[in-house]
Amino acid sequence: MISVLLFAGLAEKAGKQQIIIQKDQTTVDEIKIELQEVYGVDTAQNVMVAVNEIYTRGNAEVRSGDTVALIPPVSGG
């Protein structure tokens, strides 16, 4: 089981702040594809990704028990 945390606009689009993926192993890129197909969440290339609180790239492997955080760019003033 892999826990995927969604923040800001991603959470709003998915209607959830957390999604559980029932896989033993996958990649961040595959998670992004699943979010697009199942929840209609566009995870563009500019989304920051952290696996177990360490920033990583899209091709990073993810295993059961890991937590993936997808953080969209934010702006403010």
Q: What pLDDT shows up at residue 42? A: 77
Q: What pLDDT shows up at residue 74? A: 73
For the chain, domain boundaries:
2-71
The dihedrals phi and psi of 45, each to the nearest 5 degrees, come to: -60, -20
Radius of gyration of the chain (CA): 12
Q: What pLDDT shows up at residue 44? A: 60
pTM score, whole prediction? 0.88
Please identify, in words, the CATH class of the domain defined by 2-71. alpha beta
State pLDDT tens for residues 19-71: 999 999 999 999 989 888 998 887 766 789 999 999 997 789 999 999 999 98
The β-bridge relationship of strands 18-21 and 48-51 is: unpaired
Residue 5's pLDDT band (boundaries 50, 70, 90)?
very high
Closest CA to 50 of 73, 66, 74: 66
User: How far apart are alpha carbons 45 and 65 in whole angstroms?
Assistant: 25
